[in-house]
Amino acid sequence: MHHVLDTTLLLTSGLHPSWSWLFFPAIFSFIEVMHARKIRGRTPLDFILAASLIQIMAFTILSMGWIIASWYKAVTDSQQDMWDAQYACDGTNDREEVSA
């Protein structure tokens, strides 16, 4: 019951937004725009996409999916040997070819 009260207090009066929360996203956005300056044939869209941090959010969502999938496989004990699939993607199709 005590945790419910803490959560309710946090949601009603304990969380106060601050302008300082924008510091790190602003720094990341600035760095991405600096990288966008190095693109040959860049367009204004390159700067807009860099400043909006869409790429960082997309990668974050992908990596969260990878982490969740990995933990799901580990927790459900549905681990299987995926090396054969890796070798097929590499075009070797044989473990001996890789180790030689």
The reply to whether 8 falls in a domain is no
57-99 per-position pLDDT tens digit: 899 999 999 999 888 877 886 666 777 777 888 877 666 655 5
The reply to whether 64 falls in a domain is yes
Residue 18 and residue 98: Cα distance in Å, rounded?
A: 54
12-55 per-position pLDDT tens digit: 776 677 788 889 989 999 999 999 999 999 999 999 999 998 88
Helix/strand/coil for 97: helix
- Provide the domain limits for residue 66: 27-99
Residue 44 and residue 26: Cα distance in Å, rounded?
A: 19
pLDDT of residue 76: 82
The reply to whether 9 falls in a domain is no
The reply to whether 38 falls in a domain is yes
What is the number of structural domains in the chain? 1
The reply to whether 41 falls in a domain is yes
pLDDT of residue 18: 79
The reply to whether 32 falls in a domain is yes
Residue 44 and residue 35: Cα distance in Å, rounded?
A: 13
The reply to whether 21 falls in a domain is no
pLDDT of residue 79: 62
